[in-house]
Amino acid sequence: MGKDSNMRKLSIIICIVIAVTSLTMSIGAAETGSVSFNLPDDVTIYSEAAYLVNLDTNEAVYQKNADKRLVPASLTKIMTAILLLEEYKDNIGALSTTYVSGPSTCFDELYMTGASTADIRIGEEVSYKDLLYALMLRSACEAANIIAYNVAGSLEGFVQMMNDKAAELGCTDTHFTNAHGLFWEDHYTTARDMAIITEYAMTLPMFTEISCTPEYTMEATSYHPEPRAISHTNYMMSRMNGGDYYYEYVKGIKTGTLDQAGRCLVSLAFKDGYSYLLVTLNAPQQDAQGNNVFYNFIDAKTIYEWAFDNLEYTDIVLGTEEKAEVPVQYGDGQDYVIAKPAESFSRIWNKSIPLSSIHEDITLAENVVAPVNEGDVLGTLELEYGGQVLATMDLIATTSLARSERSELMTIAQSFVGSPDFYSALKWSALFFLVYTVLIITLKIIFHIQNKKRSRMYGTVKRRR
């Protein structure tokens, strides 16, 4: 009872984390980008591909060949579980009371393949709940086909549903050809796509509870008169089964192993308030000496320990920081206002990297004219690290600035004095003044000459008298 309660609590917590993260990402003013970090050079990751997501912020913080198409093996069963849980999400209790069986077609393709099973037989009535536990813990391939047959009416129809769902979720490099994950041509995914699929699965009722349960007891049936216990194949969860692979912070979700796929793993880890989802694909199955080694578990522990030791939620930019002086025309008492970020910006950051390595690119609005109100958008701030954009946010006015008519007139006058129109007017004024002066002087000379002539004329007349 205690374990069931803990699993339900974990499921609820994860659903809340994902929901709150999605809401936060959608309503934030800053446009954020996903920036991943590199592991130290002396750290070896054996898996061909890996993808680590911080579930608290929905940021991918580590990637290795995240978009390379690889064989997912039994990680495929996560999508199989999704389609069944979607069918019953509005009546989740019915999973415990709905019993189904599979015809021979659900078993024929599994014979002589070495497929993992939960020993479910043709025609055996098993509840959907037990099938889900057999699917996710024991990795039972017959459980996958029984689910597929009963949900879609045929195995082929279910595969089409799987591919439709992958496309709906935005998976661009995923294609399924069966419900169980055995190697068939044209069956592939990527670490990034598998993370997308798993994050969606965790929003569905019971998925996290089921996939993170270490052990489960299946009901007795007509073929199995005694209840039987099954254990999760992720040995990292079990101190008893895991040995040196045990890692106390790991939960679920699914393992997968094929010669063509190597060792694969999707898992969760929780420590000190941080939550992570990790996908690793195609880890070697043996060491150089031919010994069986679970390199997928080794990689998971290495990556999780690095994340918990080095990554922390960090204030990158505070909403109170003054970032720029923005020139303002016609301001009353001053010709600028201070701009600051519209909000604080925080994210998961590698504490070994100084914040000074983040480049700030500021773009300010041009020709800003008073009045300016506090909070007016005056530009943008782009944060960039290593060629990756962390965030783009608005810069806003920290204070208001009123308009001054006197300042406006002075500014207009000053701008006119320095303008081409002013010099043109000055030139024409000078020419006018010159012409006017020449005209006045000429008129004065003419008047002077005329006066002299009159004087002489009047003088001659007087002498004759």
Q: Which residues are catalytic?
A: 74, 77, 139
Alpha-helical runs (H) found in 345-419: 405-417
8 Å CB contact between 61 and 245: no
Alpha-helical runs (H) found in 169-280: 191-201, 207-211, 239-242
Q: CA 459 to CA 25: how far, in whole Å?
A: 108
DSSP per-residue letters across 20-55? HHHHHHHH-SSEE-----PPPTT----SSEEEEEET
8 Å CB contact between 82 and 104: no
Question: What does the angle CA 382 – CA 387 – CA 392 come to, to the nearest 5 degrees?
Answer: 15
Beta strands at 99-100 and 336-341: parallel, antiparallel or unpaired: unpaired
Place of tokens 């909403």: 319
Is the previous residue joined to 253 through a cis bond, with omega within 30 degrees of 0? yes
Q: CA 304 to CA 54: how far, in whole Å?
A: 11
Q: CA 465 to CA 453: how far, in whole Å?
A: 19
**3-class SS at 112?**
coil
Query: Would you state the structure tokens that stand for residue 291, as one six-digit string?
Result: 């010994």
Going by the DSSP 8-state scheme, the letter that residue 120 receives in this structure is: P
Q: Nearest 10 degrees: CA dihedral of 330, 332, 333, 334?
A: -50
8 Å CB contact between 202 and 81: no
Q: Which residues are annotated as a binding site for substrate?
A: 254
8 Å CB contact between 131 and 91: no
One-letter amino acid for residue 246 of the chain: Y
**3-class SS at 405?**
helix
Going by the DSSP 8-state scheme, the letter that residue 348 receives in this structure is: E
DSSP per-residue letters across 125-171? -EEHHHHHHHHHTS--HHHHHHHHHHHHSSHHHHHHHHHHHHHHTT-
Q: CA 197 to CA 165: how far, in whole Å?
A: 9
Count CA within 13 A, CB hemisphere, residue 332. Answer: 10
